[in-house]
Chain A
Amino acid sequence: MSDSETHHEDEHKGLMIDNKKLLMWLFLGSDCMFFGTLISTHLIYRKLDPLSFEPTSMFSLELTSFSTFILLMSSFLMALAVSAMHKGQIKSFRRNTVGVVFFGLIFLACQVYEFTEFAHLGLTLESGTFGSTFYLMTGTHGVHVAIGVFWLICMLFYSYTGKMDAHDSAVDVEVAGLYWHFVDIVWIIIFTVVYLIEFIGKV
């Protein structure tokens, strides 16, 4: 039995959805609950626990907006990388994936810079519920970005081995793309409910 036939055997017969893709969507659904809990905890404690300082004095809206823009553009490049793989254009896939990795690293650098600045200003993991919930939520997101970057770097290296084939690799890239886009949508929510809303009526 050829690899292609084996792959089709793997697909769910009745639903005609690739197993890897279905599994990734189920994982993303569960990750949604995970981030939902983290974001909820932060927002609830933000409401319940009055702060002795103003978060807007720490947050840099310009930096966070830049990070958001970078992540959105990385999502765009990821969509192009997936599209290129579907068309069998491996060079285009590599170009776009390098872009995604580069943007992902910029995002991580911005986050490290932001955390360092906050720590200098006195906001640490131990400084009350705001500090702990904020770092836990944004840190977990950062870890997801780091995992995504690592995953895409592995795919890039794999693309040079000559083992990629049109169908399986397109699905693999699509699955990695789903993960990356998910990281992006989580940040879209965090950017609005954690950062932007703090600034309403205060600038």
Chain B
Amino acid sequence: MSEADYNPLPVSPVDHSTETERYHVFVNLALVLAAITGIELVLVYLPFKTAFIFTVLVSLSLFKFVAVIAWFMHLIYDKLLLTLAFGTGLVIAAGTYTALLFLLSTDFVAPQEIPGSIPGL
């Protein structure tokens, strides 16, 4: 089959105009994501309080994370079940970190034994 026979492909069930609308959303989002990355880079050089910079960095990072999932990955256009499927993994991942953080908090970890020393002495 020559390329002319199948190019362009017949349109898929997704509406053509919807895709055009999404195109503009993607362009705007890409610009916002690039701008946020620039802001993050500048932020660490600014003489603000550590807690403030930390909070802003984490917030910006979460925004980028959610924005890519929602728009680039089409999750806001798709069924709720897909959000739940992914969200479950995300919650378990976040839970793992939180659990490890509490379990291995420095207050609860026994001091490391010195190699060659006799345990208990």
Contact = CB atoms under 8 A, between A and B. Distances in A.
Contacts of A30: 89
Interface in B13-66: 13-14, 16, 19, 22-23, 26-27, 29-30, 33-34, 37, 40-41, 44-45, 50, 53-54, 57-58, 60-61, 64-65
Nearest to A15: B81
A90 B8 contact: yes
Contacts of A116: none
Contact of A35 (B7, B34, B68, B93): B93
Interface in A160-203: 160, 162, 164-167, 169-170, 174, 177-178, 181-182, 184-185, 188-189, 191-193, 196-197, 199-201, 203
| Residue from A25, A73, A167 with most neighbouring chain B CB atoms (10 Å) | A25
B118 interface: no
Contact of B23 (A15, A40, A80): A80
Per DSSP, chain A at the interface is helix
Interface residues of B, number: 63
Nearest to B63: A188
11 contacts: A21-B78, A37-B96, A40-B97, A75-B33, A76-B26, A86-B14, A162-B1, A177-B73, A188-B68, A200-B44, A203-B45
B23 A199 contact: no
A28 B86 contact: yes
A19 interface: no
- 9 A-B pairs with least C-beta separation: A36-B93, A29-B89, A88-B9, A32-B89, A76-B30, A192-B61, A162-B1, A40-B97, A199-B44
A81 B64 CA distance: 20
B113 interface: no
Contacts, number: 187
A155 to B, nearest CB: 14
Interface of A: 15-17, 21-22, 25-26, 28-33, 35-37, 39-41, 43-44, 47-48, 61, 65, 68-69, 72-73, 75-76, 78-80, 82-83, 85-91, 160, 162, 164-167, 169-170, 174, 177-178, 181-182, 184-185, 188-189, 191-193, 196-197, 199-201, 203
